[in-house]
Structures are given as structure tokens and as C-alpha cells.
Amino acid sequence: MHAYDTKDLKRLFGLPATAVRSLTRAGHLTPVTRSGRLHYSFEDLVVLRTASALRAAKIPARRINRTLEKMRAGLPAGETLRKLSLSALGNRIAVREGETRWESETGQYVLGLDIDEESGAVHVIDRRKSDVMTPAAAEELYAKAYALEGQDQAAAIAAYRQCLEVDARSIDARINLGRLLHLAGQLNEAEQLYRAHAVDEPLLKFNLGALLEDLGREAEAIASYQEALVLDPGLADAHFNVSRLYERNGDEKASLRHLLAYRRLMGAQRN
């Protein structure tokens, strides 16, 4: 199990605290409190990912809870929800197990086919093979990787790689994978990963700066930290790191400016 706070769940699944509490009250989530923090199992993460995808598809919370209740009630003894997934079909919910899908309300089976109307002609398109590579699958892989970080970093790295294969635009997966590669000493691969997609994300720029420091490329590290601060002037650690590099390179004025900014931000956090 892995510890998450409200901000973690919001970032991972886009679910507000009220939605998480509702799922917990309904018995769909069973977090355990340890050292004052809530720890969620992988099955809990599957439920959160599923609820997030359905909520994004404008499915009402009451219907999501009712569907989860039916799914649990229909599971054989000892089985979990891991083998099942939900998807939205318009304003309906479909349950999927492997290649089989059925409507949650009626139990009627649904073909894994979509209809496409083009130039007046109707074509039937088989989506069953591509269904596996969906944003929901990427979210599940991300949650799995995040949960593995404290237990098995090699497995977490593999899961983050899979996540990026499904969704190369996942900035959080890119940042976390780069950090783990950095910690594992795979510095060149981590740099390539950070630079592969030019995105304005302060944490990615910050992590790249830390990596460039370890590679001994201090001028590039300063530039990367500065890019992070342009995007997020409140990034205290970037102010601290760049202050230290300026001091090392003899620019005392710039070093003092960033050190004062760091102290101001840390003071504001304590207050």
C-alpha cells in the first residue's frame, strides 16, 4: 500500500476530496491510516482511476456508485475489481472483462464495435484491439508505478516506461521516470527523457537542472533552474540551488538575490 494525500489524488485522478470521501463512505475504497496518513491499495487505485474516467465522461456520481456496488456484488468470492474496467457509452456505463463488455444497468452484452458515418456510408470499426491503449490505461499504469516507487524502483521504472508508451504526453510520468533514472545513475537517459518533449513545466526544468549539476554542466544547470523560476517564481528549492551555483561561480550579487528569495519563500511557508 502507498500513502496519498488529497493533493496526490487530485493530481493523479482529478478527483476532488468530496468525491474521494463519497467513494470511501460507500465502501468502494478501503484506505488504512498509518502514522496519520491514508494508505491506499492497488485495488483502491483501480477504483479511483475508474471513477475519474467516468466522472470525466459526465456520468453522475450516484450512477458510478451504483455500478460499483453491482460489480462488487457480482464478483465471485475472493475476486477483486482488478480484472474489470468501466467505460462510458454515451450516458450509459459498460463493464469490461477482457474482450467482453456489458451494460451495467441491464446486463446486456455490448459488441466492441463503433459506428463511423463517412460520406453518407456507415462503416463498422473494430476497436477491441486499440481499447487497451487508452488514457485510462495510462492512468492505471501511472498509479501502479507511483505505488511501486517505495517498494521496487526497477518495477516502478518499467511501469513508468509503459505509461509513456501509452501516453507520451504524461508529464508526471516523464518527471517521475526521469527522477528514478537519475537516482539509479542513468544520467544520460534521464536527460534525454527530460528533453524529449519541450513543455513548460517548472518541476521538469528543475529536475533537469539538478541532473545537469550532477553532470558537471553548471552553466546549463543555472539556465534550467532559471527557466523553472520563470514558470514558477515560488519554487524555493530552485532559488536555493541557483544561489549556490552563482556563489560557486563568483556572482555574489545574483547569489544573494536568489538566497533572499529563498528565505522569503521559506518564511512565508512557516507563517
Residue 119 domain-assigned (yes or no): no
Q: Are 103 and 70 in contact (CB under 8 A)?
A: no
Q: Looking at the structure, do residues 8 and 95 belong to the same domain, yes or no? A: yes
CB of 139 within 8 A of CB of 15? no
15 plus 106 within the same structural domain: yes
Report yes or no on 65 lying in a domain: yes
Q: Do residues 97 and 8 share a domain? A: yes
13 and 66 fall within a common domain: yes
Of 141, 174, 199, the residue at which a domain comes to its end is 199
- What average pLDDT does the segment 210-231 reach? 94
Q: In this predicted structure, what is the pLDDT of residue 107?
A: 43
Co-location of 29 and 102 in the same domain: yes
Residues 17 and 108 in one domain: yes
pLDDT at 126: 39
Final residue belonging to a domain, choices 199, 217, 240: 199
Q: Residues 38-49: pLDDT tens digits?
A: 887 767 777 787
- CATH code for position 22: 1.10.1660.10
Cβ(82)–Cβ(46) under 8 Å? yes
Residue 260 domain flag: yes
Judge whether 121 lies within some domain: no
Q: Is the pTM of this model over 0.85?
A: no
Q: Has residue 120 been placed in a domain?
A: no
Residue 104: pLDDT band (50, 70, 90) is very low
Mean pLDDT computed over 224-235: 94
The domain total for the chain is: 3
Same domain, 214 and 169: no
State residue 94's pLDDT score: 58
Is the residue at 35 inside a domain? yes
Q: Tell me which residue range forms the domain holding 250.
A: 205-271
Please list, in sequence order, all residues whose beta carbon lies within 8 angstroms of the beta carbon of residue 110, skipping any fewer than 6 positions away.
Answer: 89, 94, 101, 102, 103
Q: What is the pLDDT of residues 183-197, one digit of tens each?
A: 999 999 999 999 987
Supply the CATH number for residue 166's domain: 1.25.40.10
Say yes or no: 259 and 157 in one domain: no
Query: Span 19-28, mean pLDDT?
Result: 85
* Percent of the chain's residues with pLDDT above 70: 71
> Residue 182 has which C-alpha cell?
537519475
- Is the domain of 191 the same as that of 209? no
Q: Are residues 190 and 217 in the same domain?
A: no
Range scoring the smallest mean pLDDT among 33-47, 166-180, 220-234, 243-257: 33-47
Residue 164 belongs to a domain = yes
User: Do 66 and 98 sit in the same domain of this protein?
Assistant: yes
* Domain contains 105: yes
Helices and strands, counts by H and E, the chain: 12, 9
Do residues 212 and 109 both lie within one domain? no
d(CA 233, CA 208): 17
